[in-house]
Amino acid sequence: MNIHSGRQLVVTSSSTSSRLDSISSTNSSQQQFGSTRDFMEQPLSPIDAGYQTTPEPYDEATKNGYGSKGPLAPLLSWENVTYSVRVKDKEKSSMRTLLHGISGEVYPGEVIGLLGPSGAGKTTLLNILAGRIEGGVLNGKVQFRGKKRVPGIFKRRVAYVEQEDVMFPMLTVEETIMFAAKLRLTDKKYSQLQKVERVASVMQQLRLSHVKGSKIGDALNRGVSGGERKRVSIGVGLVTDPDMIVLDEPTSGLDSNSAEMVVELVRDITRSRGIASVMTVHQPNANMLNCFDRILLLSQGHLVFFGSSNEAIEYFESKGFPCPLRQNPADFFIDIMSLNNRSPHDLELSRRRIEFLSQSFSESKQPTAKLSLSYGGLYEQPFNPTTLATANASAIRLAPSAAGWGTTADETPPQRANWLFEVKTLAQRDVITTVRHFTFLSAVGLNSISVLLLLGLLFYKLGHEIESIQNRIGLFFALTLNSTYGVMSHYLYVYYKAKDIMLSERGSGSYRMSTFYLAKVVVYLPLAVFSSWVYFLGIYFMAGLQSGATKVLTSLSLFTVLIVVTLGVTLLVGSFVDTYDLASVVSALAITTWVIFGGHLANAGDLLPAIRWMQFISPAFYIYEGMVRTEFGGLQLHCRANNGLCMARGDDVIKLYKLDQFTVGQCALIGVGMAVLYNLFAYMSLRWKAKPRYLWI
């Protein structure tokens, strides 16, 4: 493609940026920029005073500000958007403005590309438009369908595709999109069949049908290709029938073919569904550039141009920056908008160039609405014949009624799925991902077997001699330690993995925090409990502990309470601490504290009063005390040498170790109370930590 054919090749050897900064250049076409002063004092050409665009072949109705369905109105418009953050430089703290009064709008059926050099502010602007900006100071106005955005409605009308594809690696392509459909489309509005049809059509549109049964995969497990994964991310957003799709660097990390395919598909879908798309793209090639109806060029947080790429070429040429014939226009735009760090002189010059370009564009007083009218509503009749041909060839056009797609959103807040249905769906997803998580399941299984063999053999047939007192107490200590450590280490990791995905999904209001948390408990708890029972019961009988049914069931219940409390603490640490690295340190510390104050290492009654309270907040203390009391209660020991030191009654042992502060029932009740409390704290801290704190204007 050569969208600027017919003009002269100016420079072919060096980058445009360095060319433009070579003030002493002998190139005649750049003579006017012979000095920085000259450069800045360039008179405005007639075109600058009221920049005119080359009309594209669009239909008469659109030209007059009307689409075939009536007057055109922007789907999203932004006016004078300014964003600053506090930055710390050495000891000083100051405000840094990342975006300076950016205005624009996007119409239904339009694809807008945000382009600019690295650090220009593309992602920042994109996040503001998508309602995903946190921290800092945000000013200006953003309107959705001509009105101030209502976060609850807006976030569910806009699909945001992050740069990183955060998805469950163990789910297949179809499952990933299906779960998004189940969670975000209410049963009231969509039947199960409609959801299935919708998923199928999304996969078809994104050319994913042939890999629908393939797993997403990750670094350890091979899955779909990078391009396919990106298309799945887009599918997850599209399945909810959004009005707009916002994509952050959808082409990053992809080879040029896959990158082109992604951008082309977004364009086709945008047109066929009449939605709007805004995406940041680092360095699009000429074909990708051609997919954008308009490009918004940013440099150093300033708006440098907003219009079609053809217009951009003409505009920059009118400013004395002709695009070299053989250069990709996108590269050319980036070049002239980039700072040149080669020397202080070049840097100063490039700074002035950027200042000039941003000032020129704002002074050109180009009413963007006038420009925009050329594009709005054109999804029905794309303006560019070539683009249209490609779109028709590649897009699978869906009759809106057939798949249930709609192009108009009502203003009422979208309803959520039924609470129980949400728990069920999330639990279903967790079951699938857990069952397919081979390394996790093997770690859990291996832990159970090794603890069973290790402790079972170590404490094999304890007998009833006096020496068995120490062994019995040691066994309960080892059981407490191993079970808490095992549960924490296994479930903390998988919880963080799931939390990462939840944090990415929360922005679109996919589900409630309560259902997310409950689903985790519903899935993790049985697994944690059953895998612990395996070794507990095995060791219990191998050691030959009291075999009466009441004794076995009491010990097993106390042990189960310990597992539930530990899982609660694990989820509390996982919810409260932001990173897994820190959380594993915190959880190790918690286990150590539990163990120290668990009543085994130090005699429960002999601790200093100042630190004694710590044993009362240690769940291990109660469970350990309860289990020891259960085992020693009514136990008759044999004394070989009756030298007066022998304790023939297990109850005397309980007294000796001062493990008689609470009854077994009290220990169990306190344990249950702790389990409830820790889970409650975990849920509350999850709500607090995961609550989006986005800024809205």
Ligand X SMILES: Nc1ncnc2c1ncn2[C@@H]1O[C@H](COP(=O)(O)OP(=O)(O)OP(=O)(O)O)[C@@H](O)[C@H]1O
| Coil vs helix vs strand at 13 | coil
In contact, 380 and 274? CB cutoff 8 Å: yes
What the block records as the tokens of 383 is 């303006």
CA 674 to CA 490: how far, in whole Å? 21
Q: Which residues touch 432 (CB under 8 Å, ≥6 apart)?
A: 170, 171, 175
Q: Which residue has the tokens 């820190």?
A: 582
Smallest gap from residue 294 Cβ to ligand X (A): 18
Smallest gap from residue 96 Cβ to ligand X (A): 6
Q: Of the two residues 85 and 196, which places its CB atom closer to ligand X in the complex?
A: 85
**Stretch touching ligand X by CB under 6 A, among 2-10, 114-122, 448-456, 638-646:** 114-122
By CB under 6 A, the residues from 483 to 502 that bind ligand X are: none
In contact, 73 and 146? CB cutoff 8 Å: yes
Of 617, 613, 650, nearest to 633 by C-alpha is 650
In contact, 650 and 635? CB cutoff 8 Å: yes
CA 106 to CA 665: how far, in whole Å? 66
Q: Of the two residues 122 and 198, which places its CB atom closer to ligand X in the complex?
A: 122
Of 285, 248, 243, nearest to 122 by C-alpha is 248
Amino acid at 594: W
**Judged by CB under 6 A, does residue 250 bind ligand X?**
no
Q: Where are the alpha helices (DSSP H) in 86-241?
A: 122-130, 151-157, 173-184, 192-205, 226-238
Smallest gap from residue 479 Cβ to ligand X (A): 48
By CB under 6 A, the residues from 26 to 55 that bind ligand X are: none
Smallest gap from residue 143 Cβ to ligand X (A): 22
**Judged by CB under 6 A, does residue 251 bind ligand X?**
no
Q: Which residues touch 18 (CB under 8 Å, ≥6 apart)?
A: 340, 342, 346
**Stretch touching ligand X by CB under 6 A, among 120-128, 404-412, 608-616, 633-641:** 120-128
**Judged by CB under 6 A, does residue 259 bind ligand X?**
no
Please compute Rg for the chain using Cα positions. Answer: 33
By CB under 6 A, the residues from 79 to 98 that bind ligand X are: 85, 87, 98
CA 460 to CA 64: how far, in whole Å? 90
**Judged by CB under 6 A, does residue 118 bind ligand X?**
yes
**Judged by CB under 6 A, does residue 149 bind ligand X?**
no
CA 165 to CA 174: how far, in whole Å? 16
Q: Of the two residues 116 and 329, which places its CB atom closer to ligand X in the complex?
A: 116
**Stretch touching ligand X by CB under 6 A, among 43-51, 122-130, 355-363, 398-406:** 122-130
In contact, 637 and 647? CB cutoff 8 Å: yes
Q: Which residue among 18, 123, 143, 394 contacts ligand X (CB under 6 A)?
A: 123
Q: Of the two residues 300 and 615, which places its CB atom closer to ligand X in the complex?
A: 300
Of 264, 475, 282, nearest to 382 by C-alpha is 264
Q: Which residue among 67, 116, 619, 626 contacts ligand X (CB under 6 A)?
A: 116
**Judged by CB under 6 A, does residue 562 bind ligand X?**
no
CA 378 to CA 395: how far, in whole Å? 15
Q: Of the two residues 282 and 416, which places its CB atom closer to ligand X in the complex?
A: 282
CA 445 to CA 528: how far, in whole Å? 10
**Judged by CB under 6 A, does residue 119 bind ligand X?**
yes
Q: Which residue among 74, 108, 113, 121 contacts ligand X (CB under 6 A)?
A: 121
What the block records as the tokens of 6 is 């017919």
What the block records as the tokens of 642 is 């009756």
Q: Of the two residues 289 and 487, which places its CB atom closer to ligand X in the complex?
A: 289
By CB under 6 A, the residues from 631 to 690 that bind ligand X are: none
Q: Of the two residues 358 and 447, which places its CB atom closer to ligand X in the complex?
A: 358
| DSSP secondary structure letters along 530-543 | HHHHHHHHHHHHHH
**Judged by CB under 6 A, does residue 120 bind ligand X?**
yes
DSSP 44: P
CA 495 to CA 571: how far, in whole Å? 7
DSSP 338: S
**Residues binding ligand X: what is the number (CB under 6 A)?**
14
**Judged by CB under 6 A, does residue 122 bind ligand X?**
yes
Smallest gap from residue 277 Cβ to ligand X (A): 17
**Judged by CB under 6 A, does residue 100 bind ligand X?**
no
In contact, 199 and 229? CB cutoff 8 Å: no
Q: Which residue among 16, 17, 77, 124 contacts ligand X (CB under 6 A)?
A: 124
- The residues facing 77 across adjacent strands are 105, 143
Site string for ligand X, 266-295 (x = CB under 6 A): --------------x-x-------------
Q: Of the two residues 116 and 227, which places its CB atom closer to ligand X in the complex?
A: 116
**Stretch touching ligand X by CB under 6 A, among 115-123, 186-194, 283-291, 500-508:** 115-123
**Stretch touching ligand X by CB under 6 A, among 111-119, 154-162, 204-212, 664-672:** 111-119
**Stretch touching ligand X by CB under 6 A, among 121-129, 494-502, 583-591, 646-654:** 121-129
The binding site for ligand X (CB under 6 A) comprises 85, 87, 98, 116, 118-124, 135, 280, 282
